[in-house]
Structure 1
Amino acid sequence: MDILLVDGYNIIGAWPELMALRDRDLPAARDRLVEKMAEYQAFSGYRVIVVFDAQYVQGTERKYKYHSVEVIFTKENETADQRIEKMAISLSNRKTQIHVATSDYTEQWAIFGQGALRKSARELMIEMESIEKGINKNVKTIQEKKPVTKIPISEELAEIFEKWRRGEK
């Protein structure tokens, strides 16, 4: 199993689209990152966990799921880096490969020491762009595909059948 741990604010601060959104509306930038990671998770099959520092959100530690993506806000006085390092250790086993998405150089070296692989924010962005192109291509192919009938019928008759199917008269 592959697990991707994402340093949320590090990625938001590195992706131009999310940086621009962050400057206007930080919660919207967080939500957009989580939406993109949900697409990543669905396409790649990785388990995705996005970790945000508690410094921008008041209160105690918070966890929730959004479209199978786990979102964690660290507890007070705990950084996302610290939580990611702990998770990299606790989730690691022979059947699991941990990937950490961050451009924090110190964090990259810390996770290397625990056997995790790193993805820089730029690498993740390029991979995400490729995934989005793949998704768009798949959607376009599905939309262009017409159901094949065994009996050739005219467009007019096909429209009549379609109205019947929808319950229209």
Structure 2
Amino acid sequence: MRSFVSAMQKREEVLLVDGYNIIGAWPELVKLKNMRLELARDRLLELLSDYQSYSGAKVIVVFDAFSVPGLGAEYRHQKLKVVYTRERETADECIERLVGEWTSVRRHIYVATSDLVEQNVVFGRGALRISARELKLKVDQSRNDIQAAIRQETVSKRNPVSAALDPVLQERLEQMRRGIHNSVSKDGQK
């Protein structure tokens, strides 16, 4: 039983993201899309790249290039995999194909989209679904956790010695720093 549990814990997580669906669902990205679509795509990729680094999940972002002639394209954005669909292939069809290709007993596959039909199709093929709202919450939480860790590290780096000092000694040193000359004995008594 123990080996079964440990095998289950070691499953790789793969997150397939319907890029334009997410852009249309997140207010920050909608604003950028209204200025220039490229700005919204770049911001989404930046956010998901940070999320991938934090979560450890493999993230694949799919953008629909249905009416663009060609065989589609794949490239890396930092460590993120970005896929542009083939001509006459929708993002939904590409995601469904990728779910089939990535399905394994050693993986948890999640699909981030708010398209209810697509959620049902990928669920039927064995993937778990995440709405655009849920993904936004996960991305925001990871950003908050990262910022908190950075703040904590910054605070501890300001005076790393103080954490190791006895509070009475810290107080005495602080008084000396401020020019307060109260005599304090070894046992902390005045």
Query: 1:130 aligns to what?
Result: 141
State how 1:110-121 maps to structure 2 within 5 Å: 110-121=121-132
Alignment of 1:5-16 (within 5 A): 5-16=16-27
Higher mean alpha-carbon deviation, 20-29 vs 56-65, is at 56-65
Which of 106, 115, 125 is equivalent to 1:95?
106
CA contact (8 A) 2:67 2:87 kept: no
TM-score normalized by structure 2? 0.75
| Bigger CA radius of gyration | 2
Structure 2 residue 94 is the aligned partner of structure 1 residue 83: yes
Per-residue deviation, residues 66-102 of structure 1 (Å, max 9, x unmatched)? 1210001101110110000000011001001100000
Q: Take 2:60 and 2:39, find their aligned partners in 1: how far apart are those partners?
A: 18
SS of the equivalent of 2:89 reads coil
Specify the SS of the correspondent of 2:88.
Answer: coil
Match of 1:148 among 151, 157, 160: 160
**Secondary structure at the counterpart of residue 54 of structure 1:** coil
Q: Partners of 1:37 and 1:105 in 2: how far apart?
A: 22
Q: CA RMSD in A?
A: 1.9
**Contact 2:111–2:130 at 8 Å: present in 1 too?**
yes
Number of matched pairs: 152
Unaligned runs of 5+ in 1: 155-169
**In the alignment, structure 1 residue 31 sits paired with structure 2 residue 54:** no
Ranges of 4+ aligned residues in structure 1 off by more than 3 Å? 55-60, 147-150
Q: Out of 69, 83, 86, which is 1:72 matched to?
A: 83
State the 1:149 CA deviation: 5.3
When normalised by structure 1's length, the TM-score is 0.84
Contact 2:67 2:88 in 1 (8 A): no
Q: Which one-letter code corresponds to 1:84 in the other structure?
A: I
Match for 2:160: what amino acid?
V
TM-aligned CA distance change 1:6 to 1:34, over 3 Å: same
Structure 2: state its 5+ residue gaps. 1-11, 166-172, 174-190
From the superposition, tell whether residues 22 and 57 of structure 1 become closer, same or farther in structure 2 (CA, over 3 Å): farther
> Shift in Å at residue 19 of structure 1?
0.4
Deviations 1:14-41, CA, capped at 9 Å, x for gaps: 0000001001010110011011100110
